[in-house]
Each structure stands twice: as C-alpha cells, then as structure tokens.
Amino acid sequence: PTLQYSEVIVYAVLGKFNLLKYSRHKILTKLWTNPIHHEIVVKHFKVLHGQEEIIRLNVEICQLQAWVDTEDGDMKQAAADLESTNDLLAAELHVLAHCQHRINTVHHDCLIHIYCLEGYTGHRPSLAQMRAIP
C-alpha cells in the first residue's frame, strides 16, 4: 500500500515508527532524534532558504523595475505607429496605455519603498533614474 502525505504527517513523530524505535541500530540514541537538535536543524535550513529567497527576490525586483521602465514607452510607441494606419485601434491603444501607466506608477512607488527598506540588498537605481520614470 502507498502512504498518503496526511498519513506520513501523523507518523512524523519518531516514536510512532516502532520498527525504527526497536531496531538494533539504537535509533533513539542518535543526535538527530533529539527534538531540540531537530528544531535547530529546521531553523538552520529556514535561515538558509530565507537567504536564497532574498537573492531570488532581488533578481525579481530588478526584472519588475525593467518591465515597468519599458512598458509605458513600448505601448506609447505602438499606439503612435498605428496612428497612420488605424486611428481607432491607435486610440484604443492610447486608452490602454494610459490605464497601464497608472498601474505602473503604483508598481514604481512600491519599488521605491522596497529600495528604501533597511535590509534591501539588491541593486538600487540612481535617484536620476527613479525620477526619470513618471
């Protein structure tokens, strides 16, 4: 029979594994069976993965900044390119660009707050770059 995740969680306490508990390998004398040692290891890995997450988020913040920086210009350029061939589509794209610009302004404000956080370790754009973005 296969074990379900919910069943494994029920047996998560080592004492429930009678086969291991009473084996000749003296499992219960191992350091890792001590709940305090187990908790320390869990906290260690949480810190380790937290540091990895910070690195990943720093990359994502840079990607979001680049996207916010370029999207407004790209949409305005696309609308301008359409004006000579399709006025109605160009007008609709201008409306969409204006709406997206408002959303990107909110993203930009959030990014500025992130850059000002005391613990932020990623790349910070210069003040001139941040002011250049509407």
| Res 126: pLDDT | 76
| Res 130: pLDDT | 65
Total-model pTM: 0.64
Structural domain boundaries in the chain:
56-132
| Res 128: pLDDT | 64
| Res 21: pLDDT | 63
How many helices and strands, by DSSP H and E, does the chain display?
5, 0
Check pLDDT > 90 for residue 12. Answer: no
Check pLDDT > 90 for residue 59. Answer: yes
Do the Cβ atoms of 65 and 111 come closer than 8 Å? Answer: yes
Do the Cβ atoms of 115 and 124 come closer than 8 Å? Answer: yes
The mean pLDDT value for 48-56 works out to 94
